[in-house]
Structure 1
């Protein structure tokens, strides 16, 4: 049996939302820390508009929960965010 797979980039809102929901089901979780828009270079306009918009929407819904990690720099009293 031969199958032919063809990679397709689609940064539309509904496609990204479905993809993230599918990933959450497979991972058996209700949120991810860091989502990625894979290989946006050839499709920068779509990725940087509708793609980013969908990720912002997911963040606002609590589905993407990046937590900033703080580490002491110098002494602990002057702790600043790690870059």
Structure 2
């Protein structure tokens, strides 16, 4: 192999201390996807808890309201 060709091939190889750009890009994409999925999950859980809390509060208000209108003879 001629020295010029060998030098060209060596220059094309990335340094072992530098990350491959595609790997870095993939990791960044995965991080973005992870954050997006977590945000969607967080939003979903918050909405469910809010709905459950609202339903529980509505039930409690209905019970208090019905308890308010019970005749005194019931006691």
Structure of greater Rg? 2
* TM class, shorter-length: under 0.3
Q: Which has the higher helix share?
A: 2
The TM-score normalised by the length of structure 1 is 0.21
The TM-score normalised by the length of structure 2 is 0.23
